[in-house]
Amino acid sequence: MKKITILMAASLMAVSAHAQTSEEVPPLPAPVVYSPTIVEDVNPGPAPVEIDDSQKKDYEHYNKVFKTTFKGNEDLAFLKELESWLGTPYLYGGTTKGKGTDCSGFVMTAYKNCYNIKLNRIATYEPNDCNKVGRNELEFGDLLFFANESGYIYHVGIYLANDIFIHAASSNHIGVRTETLKLNYYVKAYYSAGRVKQLDNRTRSQQETSQSVVDNEITAIEKRNEEEKKSSSASTDTKPKEAAKTYDDYEQIFGVHFKGGESLEALKELSEWLNTPFKSGGSEKGVGCDSPGLVTSIYKDVWKISLNRDPEKMMKNLSKADKKNLNFGDIVFFKKNNTYPIIGFYIGQDKVAYASVSKGVSLLDINTVRNYNLHFCGHVPALNN
């Protein structure tokens, strides 16, 4: 009886074990767990560039300073450099932060300070330092060039973002500030743009495409200017408006507020002489001249008046003028020993155009001359100012 009981118990245990094994086959599938580890195992492509909190604060700061919205990939070091120039007064020929600068001096020095890149000192020649970009391709740091109707580049600025740029404004000696390209004046004066060659990361094909785009833009601008000239000459009703616009143009070029009675032809002639290299005894526009050559050429080309190149003889044919009451076209003589190192054509607000040995034809504030004595101010009798 005892043996039967034991056999029955063993049998029951075997059945129970078989049942338990059958229930475990097949095993239940493991539950799907969605975790960061599983996502990381799948290659999602390049991760977006992240900006840390300190950089976010920097860009927010510059958005407020320059009154625009940056993308977040602009060079913070260059933004800092540009901010440090804000408020620097306008000074023709200047390049000093906080003290005085002109448009090309600001651009040249800012790029040198931040990137140690040497750009041309004169706005007219700074396009040579750049690869051209189209108006719709502008990026932070691109240079913007502005020209008169003849295509003479007289102003330059640095593009920031969203049609905002920074430049040294000559009007009323305002100096370095931000401006919008949407202003009517800059819409008309805009000529071209360029990306500094050392910082241009575009491929050759992209650059060639941009070159074609810019060439088309310039052609369109020149065509528009020609049409405006034809329209102006065909209708006398448009002449007063054209004259007002031209005076505004020349205020930007010379940094002088004109009264409105100055000779537009003389202003045009003077603008074309700017940056002509110094050449003793010369009188050829764009090639070389000295101060007597500049003054006598302007009088001959604009008013058909012949003046003697010799300073002593020239002064004898002039009526004496008061330094405190000079008029456009008056001639100013500075003397040292028996020479006249400065003979200037007066344009207004104490500025004269003359031929500098180092800078060529440029502008000078007569109140800043220290090494020479003001000897004589004269008025050409044939002019009615």
Task: State percent of the chain over pLDDT 70.
Answer: 74
Q: Domains of the chain, with CATH numbers?
A: 64-225 (3.90.1720.10), 263-379 (3.90.1720.10)
Task: State percent of the chain over pLDDT 90.
Answer: 48
What's the mean pLDDT when you consider all of the chain? 80
61 catalytic residue (yes or no): no
What is the value of pTM for the model shown? 0.47
Digit-coded pLDDT (tens) for 212-223 = 655 665 566 666
Average pLDDT for 160-183: 89
Catalytic residue among 130, 155, 289, 379: 155
pLDDT of res. 266: 92
The more confidently predicted of residues 33 and 286 is 286
Catalytic residue among 18, 61, 103, 289: 103
Digit-coded pLDDT (tens) for 96-139 = 999 999 999 999 999 999 999 999 988 888 999 999 999 999 99
103 catalytic residue (yes or no): yes
Q: How confident is the model at residue 23 (pLDDT cuts 50, 70, 90)?
A: very low
173 catalytic residue (yes or no): no
Digit-coded pLDDT (tens) for 266-313 = 998 998 898 888 888 889 988 889 999 999 999 999 999 999 999 999
pLDDT of res. 201: 87
pLDDT of res. 202: 78
CB 146, CB 156: distance < 8 Å: yes
Catalytic residue among 18, 61, 130, 167: 167
Flag whether pLDDT at 235 surpasses 80.
no
